[in-house]
Amino acid sequence: MVSMSVFLAGLIAAILVSSVVSAVVSTQWAVGPQGPEGPQGPQGEQGIQGLTGDTGPTGPAGATGATGPQGAKGEKGDKGDTGATGATGPQGPAGTATRYVIEGWFNVTQDGDLIKYVEGSDNSTTAYHWKRIDVPQLTLSYMPSVQVYVKTYFATNESEPGTIPLWRDVGVTHGSIVEDAGVVLYDEGCVYIYFKFSVTGIPSPYTVYAVTGDYKIVVVK
């Protein structure tokens, strides 16, 4: 037969278990089942922008691309203006060249040392005469400065012979001259001066003198 103390202990335990079960059932009935999900609410205002993060490290340089083809050449631009002339430089030192003067006279009525003959259509013959004058300072390998002057007659009227003797530079033609032969010809150690032409083979032959025979030759070497 169970004692009174044991009986009381079992009764208390049964009461406690019954209270716990009853509380659990009551709690479940109070919560109830979960309802369906409601609609999404409106979007809230945008928050303040956060701080900018630190700059990342620089990446490695990329490979150089291939050079493209050369473009077509453009048109040439207009020529620029000519610049201003610069100042004149100082005068150079005096030269050391020597000036030589050779002068004299020859007989123009005699034949020349060099003669050119030209046959005319009327069976006439024209002879052009040059006189040889020695100029030792004239060397063709080292040509000096040579200036030849002759005296000629100046005609005040083309229909009359010249009566005024004047000096002239033979670089200027005398008038009736064989232009392709030259007024003065140069050779080693001498010059040839043209001085007259004569026409023969016609009923009235004649001679025209270009100079008087006087000459001056200036050589700077």
- Say what the pLDDT of residue 24 is: 41
- Say what the pLDDT of residue 167 is: 78
Alpha carbon 31 to its chain's center = 103
- Say what the pLDDT of residue 25 is: 41
pLDDT digits (tens, 9 = 90+) for 28-75: 434 456 667 767 767 767 767 767 767 778 778 767 767 767 778 878
| CB within 8 Å of 73: residues ≥ 6 apart | none
- Say what the pLDDT of residue 191 is: 94
- Say what the pLDDT of residue 207 is: 93
pLDDT under 50: residue ranges of the chain: 20-31, 174-180
Q: Provide the whole-model pTM.
A: 0.53
Average pLDDT, the chain: 78
- Say what the pLDDT of residue 161 is: 60
| CB within 8 Å of 177: residues ≥ 6 apart | 128, 183, 194, 197, 210
d(CA 140, CA 188): 6
Of 217, 208, 211, 207, the residue nearest 194 (C-alpha): 211
